[in-house]
Amino acid sequence: MKFIKDHIMFILPLVAILLGIEFFLVFDRMTASYEQRLREGYSMLVVSNEPISLQELQSINKNIGQSIKIERDEILKEISLGQKQEDIKEILNVLPNFYTIKLAKYLDTSSLDELQKDLMANKKIKRVETFGNSYSSNYKLFSFIKFILKVFIVFMSVVSLFLVIKQMEVWGYVHKERMQVMEIFGAPIMLRSGVLFKVAIADALIATSIIVSLFLYFRYQIAEISGVDVLMNNSQLLFQPNDAVTLLLCAIIIVVISVYMVVFSSREKEA
């Protein structure tokens, strides 16, 4: 009974920390995918006098990811119906080049304005038009939520870390007698702390599996069969195999640091 209590007191805060980390990973992925959608839904039309290559555009502003030339023949066809061949050539000469610009990464409003200004400053470019208007207001809310979540996760992790250390102190008290006797008989530090390490690593594994199972459950048993479009389409954001590795590593690092804190605090002090 006491054994179980000791372990729960250690596993719970560890689970809380891992939960925070996993939430962060999930939210990070959600943000990334949302940003991608915003980016893809946004486009900019550039009208230039002369042909202009992607390299040229990127040298004007590095945030440009892609440029799609709108074929002039199509436009020409529309306006040249019934015109003579020479006239068509004439039209072609004065007809500007059109490019649709895609962004390389998500940009905030001021960077977009800057991008637009940079493009306008170029001699070749006559006009810049943008499409996609809900960009800025949605994103501000999003960034705000992201910030709040980060603060919350950091706060939760700090509190949980204190609980982990507290529980480790309790363990330290329990194991102190043994570790000191072993030290007096010349046991090296690894042998002295071996049991503590074994127990703590086992707890780290348990805590990691709890979180992994929880998110696997969310993904496969809730999101994917929920019937809600947005959940079903994005269920892969909820858990990815790499997360398990990240979580286990974090748990083990926390545990190893805590164990060393106990081991060093229980070293024999000169009386």
Partner 1 sequence: MANVIKATDLTLAYNRGKNEIIKNANFSVKKGEFVFITGPSGSGKSTLLKSFYGHLKPAGGSLMVGGLDLTEVSTSKLQELRTHIGIVFQDYKLINEWTVAKNVVLPLMIAGYSLDVQHTQAQRLLRHVKLTEYANKHPFELSGGEQQRVGIARALAKNPMLILADEPTGNLDEYSSNVIWDLMENACGQLETTVVVVTHRIPTIFSLPYRHFIIENKGVYEVH
Applying CB under 8 A, the residues found at the interface with partner 1 are 177-178, 181-182, 184-188, 191, 268, 270-271
**Contact indicator for 62, 104 with CB cutoff of 8 Å:** yes
Q: Least distance to partner 1 from the beta carbon of 216, Å?
A: 37
> Residue 70 or residue 174: which is nearer to partner 1 going by CB?
174
What distance in Å separates the CA atoms of residue 28 and residue 26, rounded to the nearest whole number? 5
| Whether 214 contacts 179, CB under 8 Å | no
Question: Which is it for the CA torsion 220, 223, 226, 231, positive or negative?
Answer: negative
Pick 170 or 222: Cβ nearer partner 1 = 170
Of 3 and 229, the one with the shorter C-beta distance to partner 1 is: 3
- When the beta carbons of 6 and 28 are compared against partner 1, the nearer one is 6
> Hey, how many other C-beta atoms are within 10 angstroms of the C-beta on 189?
14
Query: How far apart are CB 194 and partner 1 at their closest, in Å?
Result: 11
CA dist 249 and 161 (Å) reads: 15
Cβ nearer to partner 1, comparing 73 with 270: 270
Three-state DSSP state, 131: strand
3-state secondary structure of 64: strand
Minimum CB separation from partner 1 for residue 188, in Å?
A: 6
Whole-number Å distance between alpha carbons of 142 and 32: 11
